[in-house]
Amino acid sequence: MPRNVTYTRKRKRRTGRIYVIFFYLICLTILICAVVNLQNRDFHKQYISQTTSEYKNNDKKDESNRTDTGKINIQEDWNLTLVNKWNPIQSENDIEVNELSNGEFVDKRIYPYLQKMFDEARNDGIYPIVASGYRTEQEQEEIYSKKIAAYKAEGLSDADAKREAELWVAVPGTSEHQLGLAVDINADGIHSVGTDVYRWLKKNAHLYGFILRYPAEKTDLTGVSYEPWHYRYVGIDAATEIYNKGICLEEYIVTRGK
């Protein structure tokens, strides 16, 4: 047999083995990715369930805090009230609010901290405004319905429009804006632009008790897509710890006291 024919056959066999090995490596990689994704999904489900149950258990520890109606009085932890898609607002209490210069409202207890934060931002050449503060349930319902309608106008089905809308707008009864503790902060559009404001807030808001409520990497835990404008008052101590650890409010509540 000619030498060049033998060499060609050997080269083909060697190439074939390489393809087989490469195929098995691809299959192994896909399998590993599938296992990791499944584990992550189970972790997030377990973590969210743990967040809900531990928060409720923390509320039940001190029976002396119960009112005559049997509901839990969490006045001491008003700044850490957890509201998300899994933890709706428990009761519609009257909220004492302060009106801002542009007609928006916030819980009066956070007003001094918000004002100080804005004063310091302006000292640094950043000019933020509160685009949205306290909302009634009716106002939240209107925003929610309009968002769904907008997605349906783009051709999405009822179910898909609802699912997409809930990534950006909380279902009425599950919005932090109804607590009066959350503010959507944007630029004034004259002296500052949005990116300048978001950058300053991300670096400094915790010094005044506010946290970036919906970080990009925490959507599975918060249930809300990244919103660089949405800030929530939790108090300076909690905000500082959340900022330093790079966690979200759900994680902070689960790990608090551990």
pLDDT in tens, 9-64: 555 566 666 666 766 666 666 665 554 444 444 444 444 444 444 444 444 433 33
Q: How far apart are CA 118 and CA 96, in angstroms?
A: 21
Greater confidence (199 vs 52) lies with 199
Beta bridge partners of 130: 185
For residue 231, report the phi and psi dihedrals to the nearest 5 degrees. -120, 145
Greater confidence (109 vs 51) lies with 109
Nearest to 91 by CA among 181, 179, 162: 179
| Pair 142, 169: CB distance under 8 Å | no
Q: What is the mean pLDDT of residues 196-200?
A: 98
Q: How far apart are CA 250 and CA 224, in angstroms?
A: 12
pLDDT for position 77: 86
Which value, in Å, is the radius of gyration of the alpha carbons in the chain? 26
- Angle, vertex CA 178, rays to CA 59 and CA 196, nearest 5: 110
Q: Which of 54, 139, 141, 227 is catalytic?
A: 227
Q: What's the chain's average pLDDT?
A: 81
CATH code linked to domain 79-135+175-255: 3.30.1380.10
Q: How far apart are CA 146 and CA 164, in angstroms?
A: 12
pLDDT for position 167: 83
Least confident segment among 27-31, 46-50, 122-126, 160-164: 46-50
Greater confidence (53 vs 77) lies with 77
SS3 82: coil
Greater confidence (59 vs 80) lies with 80
User: Per-domain residue ranges for the chain?
Assistant: 1-61, 79-135+175-255
Clarify whether 227 is annotated catalytic.
Answer: yes
Q: What is the mean pLDDT of residues 248-257?
A: 91
- The CA-atom distances, in angstroms, between 118 and each of 17, 79, 92, 129 are 66, 20, 29, 8
User: Tell me, what amino acid is at 200?
Assistant: W
